[in-house]
């Protein structure tokens, strides 16, 4: 019998302005070219659907999404680097897709760097398919990197 304590289940809740300090710490550590705090503030102000993923009152992940005319767009989905590899990204993605479906979305879309194999494998394993390519979409250390456009029916 194992005496190892169970890991607390993560909880999804709406993202708040008060989360931005913790969010920006994660964003800067997770990406070579992070979004700015101003971008996140604009998303909150504009009414994008923004989610926080908490575990033991610690922000471990977040997302920024948009729902319009039956289309759900995942604009940012991030898990803090030290919490990756534990299923939190999959939990967050599935939660987002379930929420979108219950709110009338028929299809979900996202962009991902081809070099981000971990994220790409997650999306493929959750039923997303490549439907397009955005040339030179992302900034990179060598200039620009393409984005794979992925979609799945809900």
pLDDT along the chain (154 residues), means of 10: 66 97 97 95 97 96 97 97 94 97 98 94 97 90 91 98
CATH superfamily membership of 11-153: Gcn5-related N-acetyltransferase (GNAT) (3.40.630.30)
User: Is residue 83 within 8 Å of residue 60, measured between CB atoms?
Assistant: yes
> Catalytic amino acids?
111, 123
Return the pLDDT at 136: 87
Return the pLDDT at 4: 56
Q: Tell me whether residue 116 is annotated as binding.
A: yes
Per-residue tokens: 42: 């604009």
Per-residue tokens: 90: 């999959």
| Angle at CA of residue 43, ends 141 and 87, nearest 5° | 65
**Chain-centre distance of CA 52, in angstroms?**
10
Return the pLDDT at 92: 97
| Angle at CA of residue 65, ends 111 and 85, nearest 5° | 65
**Prediction pTM value:** 0.91
């Amino acid at each position: 019998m194992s005496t190892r304590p169970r890991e607390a289940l993560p909880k999804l809740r709406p993202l708040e302005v008060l989360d931005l300090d913790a969010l920006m710490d994660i964003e800067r550590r997770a990406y070579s070219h992070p979004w700015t705090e101003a971008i996140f503030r604009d998303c909150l102000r504009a009414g994008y659907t923004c989610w926080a993923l908490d575990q033991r009152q610690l922000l471990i992940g977040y997302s920024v999404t948009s729902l319009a005319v039956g289309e759900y767009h995942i604009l940012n989905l991030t898990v803090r680097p030290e919490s990756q590899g534990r299923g939190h990204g999959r939990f967050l993605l599935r939660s987002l897709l379930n929420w979108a479906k219950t709110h009338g979305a028929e299809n979900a879309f996202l962009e991902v760097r081809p070099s981000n194999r971990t994220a790409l494998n997650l999306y493929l394993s959750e039923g997303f398919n490549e439907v397009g390519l955005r040339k030179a979409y992302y900034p990179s250390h060598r200039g620009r990197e393409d984005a794979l456009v992925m979609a799945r029916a809900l």
